[in-house]
Chains A and B, each alone.
Chain A
Amino acid sequence: MHHVPVPVTIIFAILLAALILSLALEEKLHAKKSVIVGFYGVIVLLLASVFGLAHPETVEILGHPVRFPVYVPGVDWEVVAIILGSAVFVDVMSKTGLFTWIAIKLTKMSRGDPVRLLIFYGLMTVVFSAVLNNVTAMIIIGTLTMVSVTKLKRSNQLLGFLLVEALLTNVGGLLTLISSVPNIIIGNAAGISFATFFINASPYVVVATAATIWLGARLFKIRPLANDAEKTEAAELVAGFDENDGISSPGFFWFGVTMLFAFIIAMASASFLPYVRELGLGYIAISFAVVMLLRYKATADRFYEAVDWDLLGFFIGLFIIINMMELAAVLTAIGVGLAPVLAMGDKVGPAVLLFASATISSVTDNIPLAAVLAKILAGMDLPASSPYWWSVIFGANLGGNITPIGSASTLVAVAIIHKAKLPLSFGAFVKVAVPFAAMQLVLAIAYVLLILGS
């Protein structure tokens, strides 16, 4: 390991702190994440070059040495491929009408009963968050909730529904390896397979979902319909929804169903599939996106427009910066700072790390946190089964439930709440969300320590 002078490490640490602060103030700065990270990335790379930290990397490909600038190999391209492929796949999938079909079918199955509706929407939020991504799940369920709850003349309960759904997106985001970006980053760094991730995380997701829905029904006074007249009226109102309205072609709909199942199976079995195993999850995500795009081969470019380029730019910039932080020994310094936590033992250590991760994630983006901690923990050669990995995964995901700026899906929920003209300030969100977040964190700590750490 090369020697880095302490003042250089301090300069880079200040830049990292400034970056995290800027991301926390993203809304106030009126700047996109990619621009913030890009700005710091340009400065960090230049300073790294000035201090002699950045040297081109030579990689041997097919026996030929290829020189890359330092910012190319620093990026985890598999993570980028997973996010890009999944985004396009999900976007084309939404055109099949499958997601709206499921959402409306469940609405009709509830027969307009508020409690049944809360349970169905809650479960749907978790499953959609796991299979799609938190933001898309929140958009689908949130907009449906806005339309259906208003139609059922229960606008007074709309806020409760939307908040419970927002808080469940981050629970659903824990279900699979590709459900959220911190999962992908940590899972990749720890070497946790898709199947192992699901097996380890799903019991917690089931318990946390049930507890969140139960608490939501209690706190927001969501009760079953009282009499037959109310039941008949509610059933007639939801019967007006047509689940087939969004299906433009039944053939494409069934193709979408098949592809979605195939996608999940392929992701789950990626570590066992011969040939595919070597290519990784990013290859699977991109392959499925390409196959879906064949339906729109002449107009595929409009799906490229729908890709969240800000998010991808943010990742790429972030990976570059964190790589530079590693070269500047900032990560080593943070690792030293974390040493007392790790020294607390296998019970207290993971609990403190989980709580700290959640606290940091509640006020700033959880992705830099996951990326930094993934690098540090990977440097410690921890086994994939170590509870520390899971502490970061649970903390980074659930921390987003404490404040409205804690995660992208809670931000979307707040946007939908404001679109529905419901008043909800930052403080009011925190006041309502804290009991849920506290319950979910307590359950998570207990789960990591008693189940995963034993």
Chain B
Amino acid sequence: MSKVDLFESAFRSADKPAFVRAPLTMARILVVTDLDTAASGALLGQVRGYLNAIDGGQIHWAVLDTNGYDNVKNLLEHVEAEKPDLIVTYRHLKSSAWKWPFSLGEYLDVLTQTTTIPVLVLPHPDAAHALPHSVRNTDNVMAITDHLSGDNAIVNVAASFTADGGTCWLSHVESGQIYERYMDVISRIPEIDTQTAREAIGEQLLKEPRDFIARARTALEAEGHAIKVEAIVTMGRRIDEYRHLIEAHEIDLLILHTKDDEQLAMHGTAYPLAVEMRQIPLLML
């Protein structure tokens, strides 16, 4: 490695994305159900209690129950007219397929991808797989991503949704399978020292999100937030890691990005996570 590369790498490594704090503003929340009016009202009450952390009494809550729409187009028109800052619904909305947990249901699949509004997806009310602690409070909120460094949006949302006294878990799980695939290729290239590459690449991949979390924690503490910020930065099989983390830390809300500018379908790792993590609410950005 030439000295030019050596120092260029050192300076590029020192150039870190700054965390920019931007408090969340929520004026309107739309709760979408496939229940009748009475049951929807009960759900609204439960959701308001659950989202107490963001509800300072200034939010306008609206409910769209089963009588308000009868197809996806209707639903999207209602959302367009309401212009909420957040949509709250549950998986397999207006779908009997919740018994076969292999998708989010057609309404939700379309809704999450056509709108830029964040969608909070609750466990299906009739499915019995919700964890006991879910939909009660947001004491433990976890932001999950495979590229946390520089992602101000997900950190700001996670911090805002965490109840006072609660813990905001900022997690970054680097895919162990992809890493091993590259290491396998590197091990076949004589010009690259395999051990050095393994150590240096692994270390750098995890260092960047760790540094970003440290900056975010400092900024949030400086603002005097009554929440704890914890870092989970690791490498492994994402679904397994998150399933384990959710149970180990009794996570109440999982926040993840789902949009991908380059495709109509949901972001690469978001869909499998959204389908698999059906025990707790998911906030899909």
Contacts and interface: CB of A to CB of B under 8 A. Distances in A.
A241 B16 contact: yes
Interface of B: 3-4, 7-8, 10-18, 211
Contact of A242 (B3, B7, B8, B211): B211
A241 B17 CA distance: 8
Interface string A410-433: 001001100100000000000000
B4 A100 contact: no
B7 A236 contact: no
A293 interface: no
A147 B12 CA distance: 7
A239 B18 contact: yes
A136 interface: yes
Interface of A, secondary structure class, is helix
A257 B245 CA distance: 43
Contact of A136 (B3, B10, B15): B3
Interface of A: 100, 103-104, 136, 139-140, 142-144, 146-148, 151, 236, 239-243, 245-246, 306, 412, 415-416, 419
16 contacts: A100-B10, A100-B14, A103-B11, A136-B3, A139-B4, A143-B4, A143-B7, A143-B10, A147-B8, A147-B12, A240-B15, A241-B15, A242-B16, A243-B14, A246-B10, A416-B4
A348 B17 CA distance: 58
Contacts of B13: 245-246
B18 A143 contact: no
Contact of B15 (A139, A151, A306): A151
Contacts of A148: 11, 15
A139 B7 contact: yes
Nearest to A139: B3
A100 B7 contact: yes
A394 B201 CA distance: 46
A239 B20 CA distance: 12
A139 B6 CA distance: 9
Contact of A240 (B3, B8, B17): B17
B64 to A, nearest CB: 42
Contacts of B14: 100, 104, 241-243, 245-246
Contacts of B11: 100, 103-104, 143-144, 147-148, 241
A236 B21 CA distance: 13
Contacts of B15: 147-148, 151, 240-241
A241 B13 CA distance: 9
Nearest to B14: A245
B69 to A, nearest CB: 45
* Top 4 closest pairs, chain A to chain B, by CB: A245-B14, A143-B8, A143-B7, A147-B11
Contacts of B12: 147
B81 to A, nearest CB: 38
Contacts of A143: 4, 7-8, 10-11
A310 to B, nearest CB: 14
Contacts of A412: 4
> Among the interface residues A136, A146, A236, A245, which one has the most CB atoms of the partner chain B within 10 A?
A245
Contact of B18 (A100, A103, A104, A240): A240
Contacts of A419: 4
Most chain-A CB neighbours within 10 Å: which of B3, B7, B17, B211? B7
